[in-house]
Structure formats: structure tokens, C-alpha cells
Amino acid sequence: MLNIALPKGRLGDKVYRLLAGAGYDCREVFDDSRKLVFESEDAGVRYFLVKPSDVTVYVEHGAADIGIAGKDILLESGADVYELLDLGLGKCRMCVAAKNGYVEDPDRTLKVATKFANIAKRYYASLGREIEIIKLNGSIELAPLLRLSDVIVDIVESGKTLKENDLCVVREIFPISARFIANKASYKFNAAAIDEMISRLSAAIREEGEA
């Protein structure tokens, strides 16, 4: 039985559809229940529904053998796991954004509001730019509007949130998509089953691309 950490929410729904289409169906997952564990003996899988930002924690510690996490979560957590496949789902971008018309003063420490403190620190360290991190947990776009920060480092998908709050992208840091990850020890012991899942998922992704 492969234990799979599946992110709850929109991305998880898409990922689950892909897995089900590849033969790893578990009918109960879309039930309206509050259950967090679902298994299908026939398909040889047990799904755990976890918060997207916790997927790497379950996989790194071996509580789940494999999982699906955004590249943003992988880079922020620095988790020591194998990244085995880009699912091409949940595409968005990690960006620096600011109020329309914002002009940076290079002589001042830059105030950066973000959920992604490690990513922001690494990015600005690579530029040699001194910053102060203001760690928030959501609604990051408010920070520059209230002068809590100069800029934000955040995910941009459609760009709607920025637009509706009079903000714009200043720089793109990296593109994001969902990745198939595995615990290092689990991969050693379950290589055949995990490789089989990867090849079936790759085929399902190709078919969707051609459809």
C-alpha cells in the first residue's frame, strides 16, 4: 500500500482526478465527509488529505511515502525529498509585486511582506540587497497598501488579486507547478510501485495534453 499525501483544495482536486484517471481511484475521496484518510486496497493506495504547505512535512518524515506539492512549498521548506515528476498542474509564478508607480530607494532597507520568508531571503541575498522580512500568513497584498511593506513576494496566478488592489508585478522570481515527491527511504523500498505510478501519471498527462 502506497501512502500518498494529497493537498486539500483546488490543486488537490485536480491532482486526485489525474491519479484516479491513471488507475489510482479511491471512490470515497470526493465524499462530503470530514474523513482525512481514504484507501483502496484494489488500487494499492491510501490517501491522506493534508494542508498544501504540510505535504513536504509528511513526506520528509516518512509518514507518507509520496506526495504532491507546489514548487513554492518545496523551495520554501527545503525538504530533503526526491522530486520525481512535474505534473504541469497548478501553474503560477513567484513574484515581487508593489503598488503601481512604486519606485525603490536603493539606499534604504527594503521591507518585504511574504508568506515565503526563506524564498524571499534567498532571492534578495542573491542580489546583495538588504531587506527586512515581514512574515504574514495571508492577504499579503494588503501590506503595501497599508505601508506595512514596500513590496511583497507572493504567488501570482491570474493576476486578478494584484490588479484589484492597485498592485503590479515588479519581477518574476520563478515559475511554479505541482511536483510529485517521494520520501528517500520509501523510494528505495517501493521503487517498482512508485516508478509504475510515475509512468502511468506521465501517460495520463500526455493524453490530457493531446486531448
Query: Could you tell me which stretch among 40-48, 75-83, 155-163, 183-191 binds ligand PRP (CB under 6 A)?
Result: 155-163
Q: 22 or 156, CB closer to ligand PRP?
A: 156
Strands 2-7 and 66-70: parallel
Angle at 144 between CA 96 and CA 132, to 5 degrees: 70
> Site map for ligand PRP, 80-119, x if CB under 6 A?
----------------------------------------
Closer to ligand PRP by CB, 120 or 156: give it.
156
Q: Taking CB under 6 A as the rule, does residue 158 contact ligand PRP?
A: yes
3 state DSSP class of 200: helix
| From 139, 145, 174, 184, residue interacting with ligand PRP (rule: CB under 6 A) | 139
As measured in angstroms, the least distance from the Cβ of 155 to ligand PRP is 4
Give yes or no for residue 159 binding ligand PRP (CB under 6 A).
yes
Task: Provide the residue count of the chain.
Answer: 211
* Segment interacting with ligand PRP (CB under 6 A) among 38-46, 65-73, 101-109, 133-141: 133-141
Q: Quick one: 71 or 187, whose CB is closer to ligand PRP?
A: 71
The Cα-based distances of 140 to 27, 71, 189 in angstroms read 36, 19, 41
Nearest to 84 by CA among 73, 68, 64, 62: 68
The nearest distance, CB 137 to ligand PRP, in angstroms, is 7
From 54, 154, 178, 179, residue interacting with ligand PRP (rule: CB under 6 A):
154
Q: Which residue, among 191, 151, 148, has the nearest Cα to 168 in the 3D structure?
A: 151
**Considering beta carbons, is residue 164 or 210 the nearer one to ligand PRP?**
164
Q: What is the pairing mode between strands 37-40 and 131-135?
A: unpaired
Give the number of residues in contact with ligand PRP, rule: CB under 6 A.
Answer: 12
CA distance 52 to 22: 22
Q: How far is CA 113 from the centre of its chain?
A: 19
In the chain, the amino acid numbered 46 is R
What angle do the packed helices 191-210 and 10-21 form, to 10 degrees?
Answer: 100
To ligand PRP, the closest distance from the beta carbon of 185 in angstroms equals 32
Stretch that binds ligand PRP, among 31-39, 41-49, 78-86, 148-156 (CB under 6 A): 148-156
Nearer to ligand PRP, 128 or 138 (CB): 138
C-alpha neighbours within 13 Å on the C-beta side of residue 154: 29
What number of H helices and E strands is found in the chain? 8, 11
